[in-house]
Amino acid sequence: MTRMAGVGAAALLTLSACSSSGDSSAADPASSGSGSASAGQLSGTVTVFAAASLTESFTTLGEEFEKAHPGTKVTFNFGGSDSLAAGINSGAPADVFAAASTKTMKLVTDEGAASGEPVTFVRNQLEIATLPGNPDKIASLKDLAGPDLKVVLCDKEVPCGAATQKVLDATGLKVTPVSYEQDVKGALTKVELKEADASLVYKTDVHAAGDKVEGVEFPEAAEAVNDYPIALLKDAPNAAAAKAFIALVRSDTGRKVLSEAGFLTP
């Protein structure tokens, strides 16, 4: 963590000079007039509603942001993208929305609650999580269909389960799990606790679990890649700082922090 923060702080020095002019205009075409908002002028609180899977990386980026812009404060509301979108649509005071799928972002843009077009800033895809050392020698998606293997999958009602279903449908593979978990963390925990031999979770979850699970990449994961869009919200109470935060997320520093968390850059 400290290592990451150090790298980030250095990169930020260069970032703050170009953030508001370059990147943020792509995130929000209407922002061209406010390109003059430099680091020194930003103040107040930026409220960011972000998908739960962004918790670690966005918290790091929030700290970087506060360091680069003294006087600002970034507060996060991490949660399921669906419920965050519902919150925004019912008037929750937020500046930025970062969703885990274009579908959930669309809930907000359809209501006209976003300012400008959302941009995809990272992507996430599934990976096999298995026991440390891979004792069952799982090398491919096919191996999950093995009869003696205890596999847990996300329930098809939740996003990771929908992605799983998409991958399995595309490959025509039939995997019979011992359980359909209610969210991706549930699927991961069952492997962490060694109750299941393998599960399909996001790459970032495998990464976050550290050495408690071993990740096995499989090419079929490309069938269901999740785009993560980010958008400035129309009723943002602190639009200037919000734009700068979006710019940070999309900057090289942001990419670095996010890819270290296991995200793919678009």
Partner 1 sequence: MTPEERTAAPPAPRKRSPRAGTWAVGGRGVPLPLLLPALLGLAFLLVPLLALLVRAPWSGLPEQLTSAGVWQALRLSLICATAATAVSLVIGVPLAWVLARVEFPGRGLVRALVTLPLVLPPVVGGVALLMALGRNGIVGRWLDSWFGVTLPFTTAGVVLAEAFVAMPFLVISVEGTLRAADRRFEEAAATLGASRFTAFRRVTLPLIAPGIAAGAVLAWARALGEFGATITFAGNFPGRTQTMPLAVYLALQSDPEAAIALSLVLLTVSVAVLAGLRDRWMTAS
Q: Interface residues with partner 1 (CB under 8 A)? A: 82, 150, 152, 155, 157-158, 177-182, 186, 190, 193-196
- Minimum Å gap between C-beta 199 and partner 1 is 11
CB of 200 to partner 1, least distance (A): 15
For partner 1, which is the closer residue by CB, 129 or 230?
129
Q: To the nearest whole angstrom, how small is the minimum distance from the Cβ of residue 169 to partner 1?
A: 17
Q: In the complex with partner 1, which residue's Cβ is closer, 72 or 81?
A: 81
Q: Least distance to partner 1 from the beta carbon of 82, Å?
A: 8
Closest CB to partner 1 among residues 43, 83: 83
Torsion of CA 116, 122, 123, 124, to 10 degrees: -130
Kindly state the smallest distance separating residue 78's Cβ from partner 1, in Å: 18
Sequence-separated (6 or more) residues with CB below 8 Å from residue 140:
216, 218
Nearest to 205 by CA among 227, 233, 183, 231: 183
Q: What are the Cα distances from residue 55, in Å, to 1, 14, 33, 75, 225? A: 14, 25, 31, 12, 19
Residue 81 vs 253, nearer CB to partner 1: 81
Q: Contact, 20 vs 37, CB < 8 A? A: yes
Q: Do residues 113 and 234 lie in contact, with contact meaning Cβ atoms separated by under 8 Å?
A: yes
Give the residues across from 227 on adjacent strands.
123
Minimal distance, residue 137 CB to partner 1, in Å: 19
Let me know how long the chain is: 266
Q: Select 19 or 53, whichever has its Cβ closest to partner 1.
A: 53
| Strand segments (E) across the chain | 44-51, 72-79, 96-98, 114-124, 126-130, 151-154, 179-181, 198-202, 214-216, 226-233
In whole angstroms, how close is the CB of 165 to partner 1 at the nearest point? 12
Tokens representing 53? 């899977």
Please say which residue, 2 or 148, places its beta carbon nearer to partner 1.
148
Residue 150 vs 256, nearer CB to partner 1: 150
